[in-house]
Structure formats: C-alpha cells, structure tokens
Structure 1
Amino acid sequence: MTDVNAALAAQDDVVDAELVEDHEQAAGTGLVAHDAAAAVLAALEQGAEEHIAAARPKKTTASYAGDWKLWTEFHGWLAERTGTLLPLTAVTKGTMVSFTVWLDEVKEAAPNSIDRRITGVTVTARRLGTTVPKEATLAARQLVKKFRNDPKRMARGRGKAVPITPGDLRKMNTADRTRAPKPESRRQRTRTVPELARLRDRSINTLRFAVAGRNEEMSALDDPYIKLVSEGLEVHVPSVKGRPPRDVAVAYGEHPDTCPVRCWLAWQQAKLAAGAAPGGPAFLPVDQWGHLGTARLAPDSCGRAMTRAAEQAGLEARITGHSGRRGVVTTGRKKGKRAEKLRAQGGWSAKSAVFWGYVDDGEKWEDAATEGIGL
C-alpha cells in the first residue's frame, strides 16, 4: 500500500502543477488526466521493481552486481578500441553479442557462465529503466548455444555434478574420522572429526539425497518441518528463492548407515544433548573442537558437508551438494521409480530440462537399442 499511496501523492502533485500552470488548456483537452495516469503507472512500475529487487536472494543480487561489473569492464575495453565510450544503458543486439564474444574470447568464460551473465546484465539494465530488446538476448543466447557444442569451451566450467549412489553414501558415512593434513596446509597434523560433526554431516547428506534437497533448502529446514511417523519421516521443504514449498515422504532405509530416518534421529538426539534449543534450525555449525553453534548452518556449508565427506571417503569424482539431487533421480529411475514421483520429490517443474536430463541418464541402459537384437 505504501507504493500505491506514493503513486497517488505523485498524481496529486502532477494535477496541482498542471492546474496552476495551465488550467484552462487542461480543462478542454484531458491532458491532466493522461499525465496523472502516467505518473501513477510510473510510480507503480518503480514500486514493483523495488519489491522484486528486495525479494531477490542476496546471493543472486551479488551475482548480478558482478555481472554488471563485467559489463562495465567490457564497455571500457570496447572504448579503447573504438575511441567512443558508450553508455552502460546501451543494451542492444550489437552490444550484447559483442559482450558474449568478449566473455568467450577475452575472459574465456564457460558457456553456462556466459548465459548466466547475460541474465544478470539484462535484469540489472531493466531495473535501471533501460528497455532491453528481446532480439538482443535471443541473439546472444543463440551464440552461447553454439559454444555449448564445443567440448573445449565446455571444459572451462566445472561441469555437471556427478550423481551419487546409496553405495557412495555408505562409503562417505563410514569413512575414517581422522583426516591427514593437506600438503599445502601450514598445519601438518592429523585431525579427528568431532563425533557431533560426523553425525550432522551423515544426516545432511542422507536427508538431502532423500528429499533431493538444494543447499538453500537444507539450510532453511527447521526441526518442526521434519516429523517422525511410523513409516519414516514427513518432511516439509520450505520455499527458497521463490520456489514453491513441498511436502515429501522419506521411508526408512535398508542400511543403518544410509538410512535418512536413523541418521536424522541420531543427529537430533546428539544435537539436543549438546544444548540445542528444541524447535530451532535442523542443522547447526560444529567447530573443530566439537562445540555446537547456535546459528543456522549456511547453504554453502550444507553443500560442503557432502564434498568434504566424499573427499574423506576417497571418491575421485567431483561431488557437490547438487550430486544428491541428481543421484536420487538416476538411481530412482534405475530402480523403476516413476518419473512423476521423482519430480515431485525434488520440486522440479514439469518442463525442467535438467530434470528430464537426469531421467535420461537413469534410463540409459533400460531397453538399450542394441540389446537383444542378435548382435
């Protein structure tokens, strides 16, 4: 309502100004009403942009700021070669395509990173009041599509997260708790992972796999969102980054070391015994001495729990927090789980190309084209 009131106030100012300056001309033409409506619409548009910007996650806002910084750097680079410094608001088909080529050839950015930066520049430019032609972004993304067909360009990025399997989780959850020092580390001593941290990471990793959770979703979980029932756990995955919340069922596992229900109960019991307040965040930080923190475990820390456990278990593939989301789909399809059920578990949209790509991975050897044809 604040934005509407501001808009109405703006309307009053415009009307008053018009009446004072030229009330006779306005009375006969209707220009006052037209200008007043334009002022109201402009104020509402500005208010809408501010609401959208305020609702945007801090990490996304920071990424967009980095994209705009690169856009500024590109304009400086372009000015050195043309002798003319274009305004940053000059977002056209020509500048956007040139920016894309610059990111590829000068910055040697990965195609996926370039695609995301196109989004960041587009969003920021629109927030600043610039009209970004649709053909500008379409032309730039068409170029990125071509880049994605080049293996060398794709190798610049980190690549897709490798899906983990229940077998990988077992190795991670039963790995030795002692950690040898890294060669580059100044602290050359073996460290033992505190039992409290081990129980927490086991619970994060198994529950993440079970609910196909994102880092932000695992961080946002609270104790009341995870309800123990006779069949297992009923988990309410809260809304993050504007995505709708979802309620998923997590059944007891076949193996104690990878059962998300047993791992959650063990961590919950240890957490409360260590002094955690009931009803608080599901996952809390634990320092190297085993002391429990009170603040919610950050999204990045939730992701590092899986990467750290994979390294400790000696898994050679690049395992990240996203490996659980991909793993539950590929493993589920191999075991005959319905795609719709898996899609609902992880909260993917029906048109998600990423999700259906995971499904294809899981079905790769199902009824293979060359199987049983007499070769």
Structure 2
Amino acid sequence: MSDAPDIVEAELVDAHLPAIRPTNRPLLPAEYDADLRARLAALDTASDEHAQDQRPDNTTRSYAADWKTWTAFCTTLQIPTTAATRGTLRAFVDYLWNREKRAYSTIDRKLAGVTVTLRQQYSVVVDPEATKAARELLKDYRKKAEEAEEPARGRGKAPAMRLDSLRLIVDKCDSDIFGVRDRAMLLLGFSIAARRAELAGLRLRNIRDDDNGLLVDVRVSKTEPRTVPVPYGTNPATCPVRAWKAWAEAAQIADPGRHAFRRIHHTGSVQPQGLTPQRAGDIITAAGLRAGIEVLFTGHSVRSGLATEARRAGKDRKAIAAITGHKEGSKVLDGYMQIVDQWDEQDNALIGLGL
C-alpha cells in the first residue's frame, strides 16, 4: 500500500490555506478573502470621512445643493437618482439651461457635484464618456447663445474694490466691536486677496506675527494653500496688521484652533462660533452700502481689488499670483485684473503711444 497521502484528504486538510500561486505575482481582487475585503472596505469608509472633513464647508453645501437639484430633476422624469447615464445627464443639462435658465458655470459645477455625490455616497461611478457628452452639449448651448447675442447669464464678475473705496469704507466703520472686526476683515481680506470662504476659514494659528508684519497661512482655499506675507501699512488707518491686532485684542482670541473672525451677539459679546462664507461676504457688502458707495461689492471684491490695484501699480505678475494663489500664466488671474478707467494711461494701451 502506498504511503502517499490521499489527494482528497490533503485537499480537505489544506482547504483553509490560500491557493498556490507564483511568488512573483500579487493577489488579484478576485482572490481577496473576506477578512481582506472587510479591511479594505473599512479603509474606504475612513478615507471618505477624512476627505469630507478636509473639504471646505462651502463646497459641501454646494454639493448638497447640486444633489437637491438633481433629485428634483429625477423626480420630474420619474427615474432613480442613481441613473446617471449619457441620456439623463444630457437631459439634466437641457433642464438646467432651457428650463431653469442657469448660468454655464453653475451647470458645469452641478454636473461635478452630482457625479461626486454618486461616487462617494452611493458607490456609483459615472461613465466619464457620459459626463463628457453632457458637457459637450452644454458648450453647444453656450456657443449658440453667444451667436444669438443673448445676455450673459449669472451675476458676472465681482466689482473690484479699489483703494479709494476701501479707504472710505474703512473710515466709515464704527469704533465699536462690530466696526473693529469689519475693519480687520476688509483690510486683511484685501491684503491676502481673500475669497469669502478663505476669510471665514482662517484660524488664529493661521495668522502669525513677524518683525515685518504678519504671515497669513491660507489653508481653506479652492486652489493650493498659500502663505501671504502682509507688511505694516504706511497709513495707520488702513494698515492691515494694526487692524488685525486691534481685533484680536478686542475679541480676546486665545485658542489657536478657533476661527480668526467670529460672530458677534447684538449685545456686543464675541461668540466662539466662526463666520460662514456667506456671512463673511454679507459683511463686505454691508460695509460698502454703509459707506454710501453705489457699486454693490461682494465677497470676491477685495480679492479682485488687490489684483487690480497691484497691476495698476506695476507689480510683477508673479508677485501678484503669489498673493492670490494663482499659477503662473493663469487666465483666471487675468479676469481679476479689471480695467477700471478706459481713459487712464494705465488702462488704455493707446495713450502715450505717440499717435
């Protein structure tokens, strides 16, 4: 009788061991066991939660609004919200453009918001060709609108807050705690070319003292984080460093993790909660209205104002981009540098040519 082990018996004994495979080949997904699949799923969940925590609040709110719009659209068509196909996404674009009369940039963002939400919350990966087809349709709609000379949709660019307006607005800020905060927000926001979400996202630890002024770490940003060196101003009334220090002292901000700019109760007591991006923009708008300026400034006006004034002062483009956070050669930065006086030598390329 042979001493060789029975094949069936050997298979039963070693059934719990992984199948033999070449040592130079990694495991394929189909070969993962239950324990490994569970650990990978847990890692996916943890990474999604971490990514969600890092996302700016305004982005999260935008995605939620995008999903609400998509849900309403799907209800109209009587289709499930997970049915993001080439046809449904094109229909979504048509719905937003022709029925809702939304702006091009809004529709483009909503497409992104829907696909991100589907992937993160429902594990539905939308076919890239489907989103590409929807965006091509959107481009066709915009092209036809331009050919027909239809008015541009959306609010348009934020008006640049010029230095003369900034000085007037700051001068009209009250001397109470509200005025101290608003003055600091306007001057520091202008100095770092802040978006409203960047102002709202600043923490105390992001604003560091330096012998020459302040080092402001802008961490909550649509683009790459940046550190802006803010020098002392030559005019104490419009110095962003002095304005910040006055607010920090008045508000008694001590916790490095707390928001730099806070809510204020109507009684004048500074609250621990930070401002929302919407509220930060509203404060800038209200400050302009209080100063009697006819132009309706928005949360982006201080950002555009810095870019515009720096260009007019002849500052190097790289130096401007270092403050705004734009990459070299950015076309978006060109959009922030506004022409403010068509008869000014700096804004009219024909003046001084010798014609």
C-alpha distance in structure 1 between counterparts of 2:153 and 2:205, whole Å: 42
2:272 alignment partner, SS class: coil
Q: Aligned partner of 1:35: which letter? A: A
Deviates more, 1:365-374 or 1:155-164: 365-374
1:144 alignment partner, SS class: helix
C-alpha distance in structure 2 between counterparts of 1:241 and 1:217, whole Å: 6
Q: Which residue of 1 aligns with 2:180?
A: 199
C-alpha distance in structure 2 between counterparts of 1:111 and 1:33, whole Å: 43
State yes or no: 1:145 paired with 2:139: yes
Q: Deviations over 1:277-334 (max 9, x none)?
A: 4755432322333233233333333222211101111222221121111111111011
C-alpha distance in structure 1 between counterparts of 2:159 and 2:141, whole Å: 22
Contact 1:333/1:359, CA 8 A, preserved across alignment: yes
Q: Deviations over 1:198-250 (max 9, x none)?
A: 1110111001000112333323334454344443x222324225854332221
Alpha carbons of structure 1 residues 163 and 69: separation in structure 2 relative to 1, 3 Å:
same
1:248 alignment partner, SS class: strand
Q: Which residue of 2 aligns with 1:136?
A: 130
C-alpha distance in structure 2 between counterparts of 1:367 and 1:205, whole Å: 25
Q: Which residue of 2 aligns with 1:330?
A: 308
Task: Report % sequence identity.
Answer: 36
Q: Aligned partner of 1:172: which letter? A: I
State yes or no: 1:270 paired with 2:250: yes
Q: Aligned partner of 1:37: which letter? A: Y
State yes or no: 1:116 paired with 2:118: no
2:230 alignment partner, SS class: strand
State yes or no: 1:288 paired with 2:290: no
C-alpha distance in structure 1 between counterparts of 2:334 and 2:186, whole Å: 23
Contact 2:233/2:239, CA 8 A, preserved across alignment: yes
Contact 1:237/1:245, CA 8 A, preserved across alignment: yes
Alpha carbons of structure 1 residues 74 and 297: separation in structure 2 relative to 1, 3 Å:
closer
2:262 alignment partner, SS class: coil
Q: What's the CA shift for 1:76?
A: 2.7
- The TM-score, its normalising length taken from structure 2, stands at 0.78
Q: Which residue of 1 aligns with 2:3?
A: none
Alpha carbons of structure 1 residues 145 and 371: separation in structure 2 relative to 1, 3 Å:
farther
Alpha carbons of structure 1 residues 144 and 351: separation in structure 2 relative to 1, 3 Å:
farther
State yes or no: 1:74 paired with 2:73: yes
* Equivalent runs, 1:215-234 vs 2, <5 Å: 215-231=196-212, 233-234=213-214
Match of 1:164 among 151, 154, 161: 161
C-alpha distance in structure 2 between counterparts of 1:141 and 1:341, whole Å: 35
C-alpha distance in structure 2 between counterparts of 1:253 and 1:147, whole Å: 48
State yes or no: 1:346 paired with 2:324: yes
1:162 alignment partner, SS class: coil
1:235 alignment partner, SS class: strand
Q: Which residue of 2 aligns with 1:37?
A: 32
Q: Which residue of 1 aligns with 2:192?
A: 211
Paired residues in the alignment total 328
Q: What's the CA shift for 1:105?
A: 1.4
1:321 alignment partner, SS class: coil
Match of 2:95 among 84, 102, 106: 102
Q: What's the CA shift for 1:54?
A: 4.5
C-alpha distance in structure 2 between counterparts of 1:144 and 1:169, whole Å: 38
Q: How large is the RMSD of aligned CA atoms in angstroms?
A: 3.5
Contact 1:217/1:237, CA 8 A, preserved across alignment: no
State yes or no: 1:92 paired with 2:85: yes
Contact 2:97/2:103, CA 8 A, preserved across alignment: yes
Q: Deviations over 1:312-366 (max 9, x none)?
A: 1122222112111111111101111111111111222346432232247589965
Q: Aligned partner of 1:64: which letter? A: Y
Query: Where in structure 1 are there 5+ consecutive unaligned residues?
Result: 1-18, 80-84, 178-193
1:249 alignment partner, SS class: strand
Q: Deviations over 1:95-151 (max 9, x none)?
A: 211110101112222222111111111112222222322222223223333455547
C-alpha distance in structure 1 between counterparts of 2:136 and 2:57, whole Å: 29
C-alpha distance in structure 2 between counterparts of 1:28 and 1:283, whole Å: 62
- The TM-score, its normalising length taken from structure 1, stands at 0.74
C-alpha distance in structure 1 between counterparts of 2:53 and 2:166, whole Å: 38
Q: What's the CA shift for 1:374?
A: 5.9
Deviates more, 1:133-142 or 1:120-129: 133-142
Alpha carbons of structure 1 residues 156 and 234: separation in structure 2 relative to 1, 3 Å:
same
Contact 1:223/1:282, CA 8 A, preserved across alignment: yes
Q: Aligned partner of 1:250: which letter? A: V
Q: What's the CA shift for 1:369?
A: 5.0
Contact 1:162/1:317, CA 8 A, preserved across alignment: yes
